[in-house]
Structure 1
């Protein structure tokens, strides 16, 4: 199944609805050369959590915070050039494990820009828990991207369901997967790095889905399990760059 998987880049939430403007002040759009590239979550005023495969330090990334419509110059927006890229040391380009990265920024917190909480280390994430995802991009495969933030409800799945579909691509110690609470909703190419929100905290980082069938409920959507990486995240944020 590895050939059918892809990192979720270049599109967005499937079967979702438009978010209430600024109702998710932790959401970040990561732009590359002026175009939305990946999602992310502000976890401290000076750090954005996202996927390692979103790394492009050569061209540089701009973190757009406080946004609803990323194609407009909203007064609420802060556009900050990423100062430093902290890719997980065990991540290898082209593979699915350890797909986690922290970006050093310098945002100003206000009602439009607020960090999301992190879960406790090794917190167990059960199946059939109601969560949500959000992002900017395509509503369906091979369609135009959305300018506004969209969201949808999802539920966590059992580990064996994820493993049966994704086989060796799925590592249960690092990953969790979801399905739509409806029929087809969830992440698609372009939502990489965006958070899976369960309760008040970010529990996952959008990692991968099917290459061309992100709206097919047969294929679970996979997220890096944040509780497995909390210790590394906190260690990075303690360092002085």
Structure 2
């Protein structure tokens, strides 16, 4: 039994981690940490009879969901939180700020569940990330304060397919085992291309202690994180970063897709995905909403 535990811990420590949904074709960090490569090539998890189950959303089902594109390519997801503001992950915007990216090359697509059919393209006026966000480094094994706000050049026109979602109360918490909805245009298998069709799945909140143990090989998670999972084969994937995790009644956004533990299996490893807890970052978010220039 002791030998089994030692071997299990060793395998856990060698597991490959990934940023969920950071589209690899959009530019890389200047000095990325090189993950330990598994002996076998990464393969998508294949639940029996299901493949990677991500179910298609119908038109107008999630009117707050947006797609963020850079230079015409899929990049990240986001959430409409006002007629002029989009909530996303700071790791999605990190390179733009670092490289002083021309904002005319960044587009936000609203109002569609199919990027090949419909939707409105919005231009970007301002990109702000949380002042305490830091990219990976020796003292940053896990992303913290992974939140950014994008301001559009003009207000969206509300309709059945375009509508902001509410923010949670400050410092509010979500009980373990609460069922939430994750949506995104992310890949349906690890390393695959982003989907042109919006998809959704249910995830359940993982209690903080269990999540902390699962992430122990990477570093310490904090109460500013929210963890959620379901089973192997279910979860966020490439292209979902920055997208919304919302209450089951679709009234409130509670999380922002941040990171996942691949464990050599790519997306849907069965280990909790890590989300930025929106309720713990309202001072920054509301500050951005209040800006007029």
TM-score normalized with structure 2 length: 0.75
- Structure 1 CA distance for aligned equivalents of residues 283 and 122 of structure 2: 26
Structure with more helix by fraction: 2
Cα 1:51/1:144, change in 2 over 3 Å: closer
Who is 1:33 aligned against? 71
Whether the aligned pair in 2 keeps the contact of 1:2 and 1:166 (CA below 8 Å) is: no
Whether the aligned pair in 2 keeps the contact of 1:2 and 1:169 (CA below 8 Å) is: no
- Structure 1 CA distance for aligned equivalents of residues 171 and 197 of structure 2: 34
Indicate the SS of the match to 1:53. Answer: helix
Which of structures 1 and 2 has the bigger CA Rg?
A: 2
| Structure 1, unaligned runs of 5 or more | none
Whether the aligned pair in 2 keeps the contact of 1:65 and 1:78 (CA below 8 Å) is: yes
Structure 1 position 189, deviation (Å): 2.0
Who is 2:253 aligned against? 202
- Larger RCO: 1 or 2 (CA < 8 Å, sep 6+): 1
1:19-54 CA-to-partner distances (Å, cap 9, x unmatched) read 012210000100011111000000000100000011
2:268 is the alignment partner of 1:215: yes
Who is 2:123 aligned against? 81
Cα 1:3/1:45, change in 2 over 3 Å: farther
Who is 1:188 aligned against? 237
Superposition pairs of residues 18-29 of structure 1, within 5 angstroms: 18-29=56-67
Structure 1 position 231, deviation (Å): 2.2
Alignment length, in residue pairs? Answer: 234
1:158-190 CA-to-partner distances (Å, cap 9, x unmatched) read 11111112125442321011112x542110121
| Structure 2, unaligned runs of 5 or more | 1-12, 25-51
Cα 1:141/1:83, change in 2 over 3 Å: same
Who is 1:10 aligned against? 23
Cα 1:234/1:19, change in 2 over 3 Å: same
Indicate the SS of the match to 1:93. Answer: coil
Identify the range of structure 1 (133-142 vs 206-215) with the bigger mean alpha-carbon deviation: 206-215
- Structure 2 CA distance for aligned equivalents of residues 184 and 151 of structure 1: 13
Structure with more strand by fraction: 1
User: Among residues 176, 181, 188, which one is paired with 1:127 in the alignment?
Assistant: 176
Indicate the SS of the match to 2:191. Answer: coil
User: Among residues 144, 147, 151, which one is paired with 1:104 in the alignment?
Assistant: 151
Whether the aligned pair in 2 keeps the contact of 1:32 and 1:59 (CA below 8 Å) is: no
Who is 1:51 aligned against? 89
Whether the aligned pair in 2 keeps the contact of 1:25 and 1:66 (CA below 8 Å) is: yes
Structure 1 position 120, deviation (Å): 0.1
Structure 1 position 5, deviation (Å): 2.6
Structure 1 position 59, deviation (Å): 4.8
Whether the aligned pair in 2 keeps the contact of 1:191 and 1:206 (CA below 8 Å) is: yes
Cα 1:3/1:102, change in 2 over 3 Å: farther
Indicate the SS of the match to 1:163. Answer: helix
2:132 is the alignment partner of 1:90: yes
Cα 1:82/1:125, change in 2 over 3 Å: same
Structure 1 position 239, deviation (Å): 1.5
- Structure 2 CA distance for aligned equivalents of residues 68 and 59 of structure 1: 27
Whether the aligned pair in 1 keeps the contact of 2:68 and 2:108 (CA below 8 Å) is: yes
Indicate the SS of the match to 1:83. Answer: strand
